[in-house]
């Protein structure tokens, strides 16, 4: 998917490092984008605030100015947030709010093995496409007291509109890959109404007006979510693009990440029709924050994924190649991958390969 790249004279990128290691890895992604700027329109960065630190200083985790500034940007990179696990009055997660505010309805996560041999085919090479706005995450929860004790209920929302639009993104991604295989994840044998609607809506995408046979070469499979997780662990190579409602997608994408060694290498984008935000899958990692040892790869790859989504393929290819050529020989790695190099050393190595 590309957003009329040729029409752009400049590329304004909002940078929201937020909390913890986000403050160390987003600067690495910024450097990677600058290293490929000859492939891009004039790049401008805007530094923006959000997160727990911002909340403790200003009383809001997502300042109005940040949201307003993002509306003037073409895209953004978000680092990581340290949301508290207990309820804190006045606090709500800025990343959840941003996805809603900017209608970033697709969470796209490619998961690729870190191969020891760059010539070999990676064992895992799949993309999880997660619907980002509905399902149980509409957070419509109620707690009542009954004669027999407390009773908690949550509403699960699945709409044809949201399922269709995530389906379209998934078909586009599958069509652009060599295997062109799309697996729809659901649990229609139990949740026949909600998951049934998701499954039907995604299946109907190739028949929509205006599609005109575009997806005829995409093979459609489907799988119940529990068996999909089982098979993901047993034979991950069977998957190409997986599309799922929000909750299943959340779980599957973390499970897939576990197959490739470290969360520190997994990128993502949150995409809508008019905006895209890159985001490393890892969190703020308070245990290593400030030590200069966080893996910058997930953020650098997120920058590449964001550029690719915008249609800047050659810039994205250059970054991805330099990352792969750093990971494959396994000589310059951070501690999460068994190495002893710092964030800056790994970043500089990648930048050096881009500039070769
Ligand atoms: N980059 C991913 C990240 O920051 N993960 C932490 C996270 O999302 N925490 C939960 C939240 O703030 O909603």
81 C-alpha to ligand 1 centroid (Å): 5
279 C-alpha to ligand 1 centroid (Å): 10
Please state the atom number of ligand 1 nearest to the C-alpha of residue 96.
13
State the Cα–Cα distance between residues 343 and 28, nearest whole angstrom.
8
State the Cα–Cα distance between residues 320 and 354, nearest whole angstrom.
9
Instruction: State residue 116's pLDDT score.
Output: 47
Count CB atoms within 10 A of the CB of residue 151.
10
Nearest CA to ligand 1 atom 1: 80
For the CA atoms of 165, 76, 39, 117, the dihedral, rounded to the nearest 10 degrees, stands at: -80
Give the residue ranges of the chain where pLDDT is below 70: 1-6, 115-122
Nearest CA to ligand 1 atom 4: 80
For residue 289, the Cα-to-chain-centroid distance in whole angstroms is 21
Q: Output the ligand 1 site: residues, CB below 6 A.
A: 80-81, 83, 93, 95-96, 279-280, 283-284
78 C-alpha to ligand 1 centroid (Å): 10
Nearest CA to ligand 1 atom 5: 283
What's the pTM value of the predicted model, to 2 decimals?
Answer: 0.91
Give the pLDDT confidence of 64-93 residue by residue, as tens digits.
999 999 999 999 999 999 989 888 999 999
How far lies 254's CA from each of 85, 264, 301, in Å? 19, 12, 17
Angle at 310 between CA 308 and CA 312, to 5 degrees: 55
Instruction: State residue 4's pLDDT score.
Output: 53
State the Cα–Cα distance between residues 309 and 304, nearest whole angstrom.
9
Instruction: State residue 332's pLDDT score.
Output: 97
In whole angstroms, how large is the CA radius of gyration of the chain? 20
Please state the atom number of ligand 1 nearest to the C-alpha of residue 83.
12
Q: Which of 53, 95, 286, 306 to mutate to test the pocket of ligand 1 (most atoms within 8 A of CB)?
A: 95
Residues in Cβ contact with 285 at an 8 Å cutoff, skipping those fewer than 6 apart? 20, 21, 80, 294
How far lies 289's CA from each of 22, 83, 329, in Å? 9, 15, 26
88 C-alpha to ligand 1 centroid (Å): 16
**CB-based contact 269:236 (threshold 8 Å):** no
80 C-alpha to ligand 1 centroid (Å): 6
240 C-alpha to ligand 1 centroid (Å): 26
Look at residues 18, 9, 12, 35 and name the one whose alpha carbon lies nearest to residue 317: 35
Angle at 34 between CA 29 and CA 35, to 5 degrees: 95
69 C-alpha to ligand 1 centroid (Å): 21
How far lies 275's CA from each of 97, 156, 307, in Å? 15, 26, 12
Please state the atom number of ligand 1 nearest to the C-alpha of residue 284.
4
ipTM of the complex: 0.94
Residues in Cβ contact with 71 at an 8 Å cutoff, skipping those fewer than 6 apart? none
Instruction: State residue 32's pLDDT score.
Output: 98
């Amino acid at each position: 998917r590309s957003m009329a790249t040729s029409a752009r004279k400049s590329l304004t990128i909002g940078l929201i490092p937020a909390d913890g290691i986000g403050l160390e890895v987003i600067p690495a992604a910024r450097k990677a984008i600058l290293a490929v700027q000859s492939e891009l329109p004039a790049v401008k960065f805007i530094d923006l605030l959000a997160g727990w630190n911002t909340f403790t200083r200003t009383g809001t985790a997502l300042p109005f100015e940040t949201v307003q500034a993002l509306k003037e940007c073409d895209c953004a990179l978000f680092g990581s947030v340290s949301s508290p696990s207990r309820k804190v009055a006045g606090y709500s997660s800025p990343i959840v709010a941003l996805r809603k505010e900017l209608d970033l309805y697709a969470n796209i996560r490619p998961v690729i093995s870190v191969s020891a041999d760059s010539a070999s085919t990676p064992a895992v090479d799949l993309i999880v496409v997660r619907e980002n706005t509905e399902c149980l995450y509409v957070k419509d929860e109620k707690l009542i007291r009954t004669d027999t004790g407390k009773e908690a209920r949550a509403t699960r929302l699945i709409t044809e509109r949201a399922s269709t639009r995530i389906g379209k993104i998934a078909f586009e991604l599958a069509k652009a890959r060599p295997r062109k295989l799309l697996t729809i994840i659901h649990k229609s044998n139990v949740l026949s109404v909600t998951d049934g609607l998701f499954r039907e809506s995604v299946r109907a995408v190739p028949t929509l007006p205006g599609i005109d046979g575009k997806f005829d070469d995409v093979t459609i499979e489907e799988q119940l979510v529990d068996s999909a997780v089982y098979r993901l662990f047993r034979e991950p190579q069977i998957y190409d693009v997986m599309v799922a409602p929000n909750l299943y997608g959340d779980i599957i994408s973390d499970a897939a990440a576990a197959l490739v060694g470290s969360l520190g290498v997994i990128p993502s984008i949150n995409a809508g029709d008019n905006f895209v935000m890159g985001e490393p899958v890892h969190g703020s990692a308070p245990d290593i924050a400030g030590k200069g040892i966080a893996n910058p790869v997930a953020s650098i790859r997120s920058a590449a994924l964001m550029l690719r989504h915008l249609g800047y393929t050659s810039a994205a290819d250059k970054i991805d190649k330099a990352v792969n050529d750093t990971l494959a020989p396994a000589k310059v790695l951070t501690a999460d991958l068994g190495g002893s190099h710092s964030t800056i050393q790994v970043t500089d190595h990648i930048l050096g390969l881009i500039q070769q």
